[in-house]
């Protein structure tokens, strides 16, 4: 009797959208197996809702917030399944992952699952620079996971969870940035929200952060998380992520009214020398690793010449 009970548990897929007519058909086709597919749309001005309804999804509406977290909680509250799978509009769920999730639901031994995500950026699967395995809590029993209304924060969980092995067959496929423009447009939106959250948290602009923040992000992604192994893609994306930190801090400065501050060149020299020591350290470490970094940079230069 227990076996029949857990096998009958219902799985709902929740997808939040805004102007996703380019992606919505692909993601919906990858979740046709679900007992319920719920699309929560932020009043799209394109054909997202029309396509979703045509493909059999249940559509509900939520106000436009500029980011997904508030609408995600609302959509989950409207889902009827015992288990919820949260999917973004630019993602796909491969059949191998479907099989794994159904197996987990049937055993009914955990409350949530951390799933790896395969990020495809500028046409390449990124395996380094913090882009893989990029674990996300996306599959869970209803009522056991919830998001705050802050951008890019991990959800709150109840009870025991599991983490799937970092294997391609267990990964959500994320068709992430496909152009520089898409990166910059999203970065502009996200950094505005992040700057506002910094201010609400009591942060005051410090000009040294426009050095330390971006450089720290670059070093973390390119060196500590081995972005150099993904060649020019790793270098470019590490710079772009670092640039987003620069923009975020400058937007705090903007919100403070572009407060004037005279800078002494000696101050700037002190900060840059301090940060430069970090950069030199990582270069020295890469030199000890058979000059991997220099070799990749040389190859990148040859491709661009």
DSSP result, 108-155:
T--SEEEE-EEEEETTEE--STT-SS--EEEEEETTSEE--SSTT-PP
How far is residue 84's CA from residue 143's CA, in Å, rounded to a whole number? 9
Q: What is the pLDDT of residue 299?
A: 59
pLDDT of residue 3: 40
Distance CA 15, CA 23 (A): 11
Per-residue pLDDT, 171: 98
Q: Which range among 29-43, 156-170, 280-294 shows the weakest confidence by mean pLDDT?
A: 280-294
Give CA torsion, residues 51, 55, 61, 65, to 10 deg. Answer: -60
pLDDT per residue as tens digits for the range 173-208: 999 999 999 999 999 999 999 999 999 999 999 999
Peptide bond into 170 cis (omega under 30): no
Cα separation, 136 vs 114, in Å, equals 5
* Backbone dihedral region for residue 290 (phi beyond 0: left; psi -120 to 50: alpha; all else: beta): left
Q: What's the rounded Cα separation, in Å, for the pair 278 and 281?
A: 5
pTM for the model stands at: 0.85
What's the DSSP call for residue 291?
T
- Domain extents in the chain: 2-175, 180-304
Indicate whether 293 pLDDT > 70: no
Q: Note the pLDDT tens digit of each residue in 225-249.
A: 999 999 999 999 999 999 999 999 9
Q: Quick one: CATH architecture of 2-175?
A: Alpha-Beta Complex (3.90)
Alpha carbon distance 230, 293 (integer Å): 10
- Say what the pLDDT of residue 296 is: 56
In tens, the pLDDT along 12-42 reads: 999 999 999 999 999 999 999 999 999 999 9
**Average confidence (pLDDT) over 258-285:** 87
**Rounded-to-integer distance, Cα 224 and Cα 218, Å:** 9
Instruction: State percent of the chain over pLDDT 90.
Output: 80
How confident is the model at residue 225, as a pLDDT?
94
Report, as an integer, the average pLDDT of 249-268: 95
Q: What is the pLDDT of residues 85-135, one digit of tens each?
A: 999 999 999 999 999 999 999 999 999 999 999 999 999 999 999 999 999
Q: What pLDDT does residue 94 have?
A: 98
Rounded Cα distance between 128 and 232, Å, is 12
Q: Are 169 and 118 in contact (CB under 8 A)?
A: no
Give buried/exposed letters for 214-232 (b at 16+ CB in 10 A, else e): bbbbbbbbbbebbbbebbb
The DSSP line for 18-67 is: SS-TTTHHHHHHTTTTSSEEEEEES--SSSHHHHHHHTT-EEEE----SS
Question: C-alpha angle 292/295/301, rounded to 5°?
Answer: 140
**What angle (nearest 5°) sits at the alpha carbon of residue 232, between those of residues 227 and 235?**
45
48-94 pLDDT, tens digit each = 999 999 999 999 999 998 788 889 999 999 999 999 999 999 999 99
For strands 91-92 and 36-41, give the pairing: unpaired
How many angstroms separate the CA atoms of 249 and 186, rounded? 16
Whole-Å CA distances, 48 to 38, 40, 66, 105: 13, 11, 17, 30
- Count of C-beta atoms within a 10 Å radius of residue 254: 14
How far apart CA 224 and CA 282 sit, in angstroms, is: 8
Name the residue among 33, 150, 5, 159 with its Cα closest to residue 92.
33
Residue 5 is predicted with a pLDDT of 43
């Amino acid at each position: 009797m227990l076996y029949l009970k857990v096998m009958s548990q219902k799985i709902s897929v929740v997808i939040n959208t805004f102007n996703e007519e380019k992606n919505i058909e692909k993601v919906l086709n990858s979740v046709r197996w679900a007992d319920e597919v719920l699309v929560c749309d932020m009043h799209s001005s394109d054909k997202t809702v029309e396509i979703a309804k045509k493909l059999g999804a249940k559509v509900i509406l939520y106000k436009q917030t500029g980011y997904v977290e508030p609408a995600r909680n609302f959509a989950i509250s409207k889902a009827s399944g015992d288990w919820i799978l949260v999917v973004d509009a630019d993602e796909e769920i491969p059949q191998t992952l479907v099989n794994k999730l159904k197996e987990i639901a049937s055993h009914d031994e955990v409350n949530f699952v951390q799933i790896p995500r395969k990020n495809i950026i500028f046409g390449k699967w990124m395996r380094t620079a913090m882009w893989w395995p990029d674990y996300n809590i996306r599959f869970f029993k209803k009522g056991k996971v919830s998001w705050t209304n802050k951008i890019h924060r991990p959800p709150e969980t109840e009870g025991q969870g599991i983490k799937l092995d970092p294997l391609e067959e267990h990964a959500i496929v994320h068709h992430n940035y496909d152009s520089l423009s898409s990166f910059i447009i999203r970065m502009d939106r996200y950094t505005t929200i992040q700057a506002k959250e910094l201010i609400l948290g009591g942060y005051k602009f410090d000009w040294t952060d426009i050095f330390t923040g971006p450089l720290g992000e670059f070093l973390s992604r390119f060196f500590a998380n081995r972005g150099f192994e993904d060649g020019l893609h790793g270098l470019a994306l590490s710079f772009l992520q670092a640039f987003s930190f620069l923009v975020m801090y400058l937007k705090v400065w903007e919100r403070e009214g572009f407060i004037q501050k005279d800078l002494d060149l000696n101050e700037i020299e002190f900060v840059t020398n301090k940060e430069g020591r970090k950069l030199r350290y990582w270069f020295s470490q890469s030199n000890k690793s058979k000059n991997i970094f220099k070799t990749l940079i040389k190859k990148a230069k040859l491709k661009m010449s």
